[in-house]
Structure 1
Amino acid sequence: MSTPEPVTFVYKTFTNVDGEETSIPVDVYLPATEGSEPITPVIWVHTGGFLQGTRKFVPPHFLRALERHKLALIAPDFRLCPQVTIREVLVDVVDCVRWTLDETVRASSGLKSTQLSTSRYVLGGSSAGGWPALLLGLGLHDLAITLPQPPIAVFSIYAITTVTRDLAPFFYETQKPLAWAVDGKPIKREPLEEEGHMQKCLDDKHNLIKASSPSSVKIRTEAPPASNPVRAALYNFARQEACFPDLILADPAEAPSVCTPTLIRTKMRVRTSTSHVSVLICYGDSDPKVPHSQSVHVVEALKSVGYTGDDLLVLEEKGADHLFDMEPTSEIEGMWEWVASKI
C-alpha cells in the first residue's frame, strides 16, 4: 500500500512582532483512491509540548489508516509557546477547523478537492496536541463556541491535559538530572536564552509586544528538533527547572481555565445516549515525560459524567513510553476501526 504524500497550504496568517504577516501552513494527506462518499477529515495537532515540533512529524500508522478507512489527514502547524500561550494555540486550531470545513476558503488557498467533507470531522492530537483536541472538541474552553460545529469524535494520545498543582504536581518539581536524560547531564539555560527561545512575545493580557529592533525574537510556527537542536531541549529544560506552566500560560492563575479533568466535571452535563462527543484516550503506562495520570484523570472525569461503552474507548499500552506509536511498524490496536465506526 502506497503512503500518501502531503500537499501544503496556508490556512491563516497572523501579525508578527515586526508588523509583518506570517503564514501558518497545514499539510493535507488524501487517500490515493476516492470513494463514493465525502472523505472525513481528521484534524491532528502535533507533539512538542507547544514549545517545539512540526506538523511533519506524523505517526506512520496515521498514514496507513487513510487509505484503509478513506480518511483525510489535516496536520497544521501553530504558533509556538513561550512566544505565545496555549490560548493562541487554541485559536489556531479553531481557525484550522474553520479552514478545513469551508470549501470556498480551502479553494482560495489552493485546495480544490470537493471530496473533503464539510459536515463532519474528527479532532485529535498527540502529547500536548491532545490537550486542545479535548478542550475544544468537548466544548470545555470558552473558545470552543467559535468552532463552526463540534467534531464527531475526539482522540488524545499520551496527552498533556492539565498543569494544575493538584493534578499535575510533577510540573512543579525540579528534576536534576531528568529521569530520562541519556547522559545524565543537566540542560543549560544559556543557549536557550541566547537564541531567544525563552522570550515571550505577548504581555500578560495576550497583547503583542512589538519588536524593539530588527533582531527581536519573532513568533515561530515550526521548530523541527533536527534543525533546531537548541530549542529541541526546551520541554526537557522546562521539566528540569519546573517552569513548564510559566512557558505556556500568560499567568499561573490561568491554569484552572485549561484543566481538562476539572472542566469535564464542572461543565459537562451527565451524558445521555444522544449527547456528547465520542472520545478515545490512549496512553503508555511507562511514560516519564508525560505521566499517564494525565490521561487517567480525564478518563475518570468522563466516566463521572456518564461516559461508558463504545463512546469512551480507553487504550492502555503496557510498558509503552512517550511517542511509542512513532515507530515505523507501530499500530494502536483498534484505534482507527473505532474512528471509522463514528463516521
Structure 2
Amino acid sequence: MSPPPLEYVFKRVGELEIVLDVYLPTGATADDPASVCVWWHGGGSYQGTRKACPPNMELLPTRSNIAFISADYRLAPQSNIHLILEDTVDAIDFIRRELPGRLEGKIDPTKLAVSGGSAGGWLALLAGIPTKGQPGAVVDPPVTCIASIYPITDVDTAFYTTKQRPVSYWPKGIIPDDQAAPHIDPSDPELCSSSTTSSRSIVYHYALQEALWHHLWLVNAPTQSPGASTDPRSFNVGERLEMAKRDGVEVPPLFLTSGTADDKVDPAGAERLASRLKSLGCDYVWDERQGCDHLFDQDESERMERMHEFLQRHLL
C-alpha cells in the first residue's frame, strides 16, 4: 500500500484553499530527484475530487520512480472554464517554483507530464498543447508529455448540445430538476472539491440530460473573466491542436486512450483526436481499449501498461 500523500495548498481564492496531493518515491533525493506526473480528476468540471485518483496512478512512485501529484481545481458553474484552466496553470507553476524547495529538492519539475481522466483528460490536453494567443491554459515552458485518459475532446458535438432524456446509462430514469438545482446556481460560493458519493455527483449527468454543458461551465459566469471567449469551439482539442501546428508550435508527445464501450463522454471524440494527431504528424500513442467503458482505469487490477511505458520513456 502506498503511504498517504503530502498535502499542499497551492492557491487561495478568498477563503477557499485549493490543494494538491503529492505521492513521492521513497528513493527520491536532491541528488536523484523524481520526475513528475500531474493528474486532474474527471466529473465534467462540475464535480469530483483529487482523492478519486486511479489505483495505477498512485503506484507511479513505487512502480516507475515518478512523483504523482493529484490536484483539485474550482468547479463549474460557480467558477467558469477560464478560472478552472487558470487553476491548472497555477498548479503547474506552484509545482515548478515552490514545491521543489518544500520537498528538499526531491522532484525535478523540468521533467513534467500532465494527465487526467475524462474532464481531467480534457484539462490535461488544454494545458499541455501549447497555443499562441488562444483562450485557455498557457503553460510556459511547455510540459514534457501528455497522458490523456478517455477525455472530453470536442465540446460542440451533438452529444453535449442535444438533450439526452433519459441519459442512456442512468439507471434511475430522469434526474429531477430539484435534485440538481442546489448545485447549479453560479452565484453560490466557489468550491474546488466534492465527494464522488455526494449529492453533487449528479450534475454532469444532469448537464447531459438537459444539454446544459456550455451553459453551466461557460455562459453562466462570463463576468468572472472579462473579455474571455464564450465560444465553446475555443476549447475543442482538435482545433487547438491544429492551431498549434499551424503556428509552428511543438506539440509534446501525447498518449491517448479510450474504451470502445464508453457512453459517458462523446464516444467518437478520442478516435477523432487520434486521427488528427496522425494526420498532423504528431508524436503520439493511441491505445483504443476494446469493450472498455468509462473509468476502466479505476479497477484495482488495471495496470495501464502502455501508458506507464510511455511515461517512463519520456520522463526517465
TM-score for the superposition, normalised by structure 1: 0.83
8 Å CA contact 1:271, 1:305 repeated in 2 = no
Among 230, 239, 245, the residue aligned to 2:208: 239
Please list, as runs of the form range in 1=range in 2, the aligned pairs for 1:193-342 lying within 5 A after superposition.
193=181, 195=182, 197-201=183-187, 217-226=188-197, 228-229=198-199, 231-250=200-219, 253-269=230-246, 275-307=250-282, 311-342=283-314
Structure 1 CA distance for aligned equivalents of residues 147 and 153 of structure 2: 12
Is 1:80 paired with 2:83? Answer: no
8 Å CA contact 1:4, 1:63 repeated in 2 = no
8 Å CA contact 2:38, 2:113 repeated in 1 = yes
Aligned twin of 2:162: 173
- What is the CA-CA distance between 1:143 and the residue it aligns to? 4.4
8 Å CA contact 1:40, 1:72 repeated in 2 = yes
Is 1:29 paired with 2:23? Answer: yes
8 Å CA contact 2:43, 2:118 repeated in 1 = yes
Aligned twin of 2:119: 128
Amino acid at match of 1:95: D
Change over 3 Å in CA distance of 1:144–1:47 after alignment to 2: closer
8 Å CA contact 2:52, 2:196 repeated in 1 = no
Is 1:69 paired with 2:41? Answer: no
Structure 2 CA distance for aligned equivalents of residues 306 and 53 of structure 1: 34
Secondary structure of residue in 2 paired with 1:298? helix
Residues 106-149 of structure 1 show CA distances to partners (whole Å, capped at 9, x for unaligned) of: 378xx33311113220011110011121112111444444x231
8 Å CA contact 1:270, 1:306 repeated in 2 = no
Residues 308-334 of structure 1 show CA distances to partners (whole Å, capped at 9, x for unaligned) of: xxx210111111110011011112231
Secondary structure of residue in 1 paired with 2:277? helix
Change over 3 Å in CA distance of 1:270–1:83 after alignment to 2: closer
8 Å CA contact 2:136, 2:235 repeated in 1 = no
Is 1:14 paired with 2:3? Answer: no
8 Å CA contact 1:262, 1:301 repeated in 2 = no
Structure 2 CA distance for aligned equivalents of residues 325 and 271 of structure 1: 34
8 Å CA contact 1:27, 1:55 repeated in 2 = yes
8 Å CA contact 1:41, 1:71 repeated in 2 = yes
8 Å CA contact 2:260, 2:292 repeated in 1 = yes
Is 1:156 paired with 2:131? Answer: no
Structure 2 CA distance for aligned equivalents of residues 186 and 300 of structure 1: 35
- What is the CA-CA distance between 1:270 and the residue it aligns to? 8.8
Structure 2 CA distance for aligned equivalents of residues 336 and 303 of structure 1: 21
Which sections of structure 2, spanning at least 5 residues, go unmatched?
223-228
Structure 1 CA distance for aligned equivalents of residues 178 and 69 of structure 2: 36
Aligned twin of 1:44: 39
Which sections of structure 1, spanning at least 5 residues, go unmatched?
16-20, 202-216
Amino acid at match of 1:25: V
Among 185, 189, 194, the residue aligned to 2:177: 189
Count of matched residue positions in the alignment of Structure 1 and Structure 2: 304
- What is the CA-CA distance between 1:296 and the residue it aligns to? 1.5
Secondary structure of residue in 1 paired with 2:108? coil
Amino acid at match of 2:84: V
8 Å CA contact 1:41, 1:116 repeated in 2 = yes
TM-score for the superposition, normalised by structure 2: 0.90
Structure 2 CA distance for aligned equivalents of residues 142 and 270 of structure 1: 15
Residues 158-190 of structure 1 show CA distances to partners (whole Å, capped at 9, x for unaligned) of: 0011212xxx2111222222210123x210111
- What is the CA-CA distance between 1:258 and the residue it aligns to? 0.7
8 Å CA contact 2:76, 2:217 repeated in 1 = yes
Change over 3 Å in CA distance of 1:270–1:22 after alignment to 2: closer
Structure 2 CA distance for aligned equivalents of residues 278 and 304 of structure 1: 15
